[in-house]
Every structure is written in C-alpha cells, then in structure tokens.
Amino acid sequence: MVREYVDHTGAVAVYAEDDEGRVLVIQQYRHPVQLRDWELPAGLLDHEGEDHLTAAKRELAEEADVEADEWQHLVRYNTSSGGSTEFIEVFRASGVRPAESAFEREAEEADIVIRWVPRAEIVAGILEGRLHNSALIVATLAVEAADRR
C-alpha cells in the first residue's frame, strides 16, 4: 500500500489573554480553505534549532506585535493523523503588552486583522459553527476545561 502524506516541520500557536479575560485572535486569508479565518497567532518551526516556546514568542510578536510575561504549555495535538505528521504545540500566554516595536508584515500577513475577544464569544462561535480554525478550537476548549478543574 502506498500512502501520501505531508511531512511537516511542526508548528506552534499562542492562546494569549489580557487582564480582562479577552483572547487575542487574528484574521488572515487562507488559500486552501479560501476564506479569511479567525485563528490564534501561530506559525511553523521554520528556524533551525528553534525550540517551541521561542517560536511561540516569535510568532506572537510577528503576527500581533504583542509580548507576554507568563507562558505555560497548554496542549499538543496532531492536526490530521491520516494526512500529516504535523503536531501543534499550543502555549497560553498572559501578562501581555504591546511589543517594543511593530513587525513589518508583508505578503499574506500584510493585511492581518487583530482583535481581542471575550472568551465566551469565542466559545459561542465554536459551538455555533462560525469558527473553524483547529488551533483556536482546541486551545479555547482546553482553557475552558483547565479553568473548570
């Protein structure tokens, strides 16, 4: 039997919350699904030797011009075990503040929209089928579960 799958470098995502309990989400166009999807700041492990936490901090700064004081591992999951080796490591960040300098975005990231949204609105969007990004869904529901423990 021959199987085709994507051999993936791995990725990180950041579930960042401010002091008011709002979650940082971004919106950008995603060609494979042909829509502007709401998602968490995230990205590939594309720098040689970069660890997951360093990559998460880099992605948060690059995509949202935000830094955080506190970081904790939230969840790690495989995006599509039948079609990809990709695992996403999701971190929960708090103590957020604007980065010292804005990142100069280009290409697909040039028109990123950044919003701070109450977690309850994100949960409602997930359950109503309006939000589709897997990292956003998994992270939000993981935070809901963790906070109830």
Catalytic residues: 109
Q: Which two tokens stand for residue 81?
A: 């075990």
Q: Which residues contact 149 (CB under 8 A, 6 or more apart)?
A: none
Q: How far apart are CA 138 and CA 119, in angstroms?
A: 13
87 in helix, strand or coil?
A: strand
β-pair partners for 3: none
Q: Which residues contact 82 (CB under 8 A, 6 or more apart)?
A: 5
Q: How far apart are CA 10 and CA 32, in angstroms?
A: 18
Specify the DSSP class assigned to residue 116.
E
Q: How far apart are CA 28 and CA 58, in angstroms?
A: 18
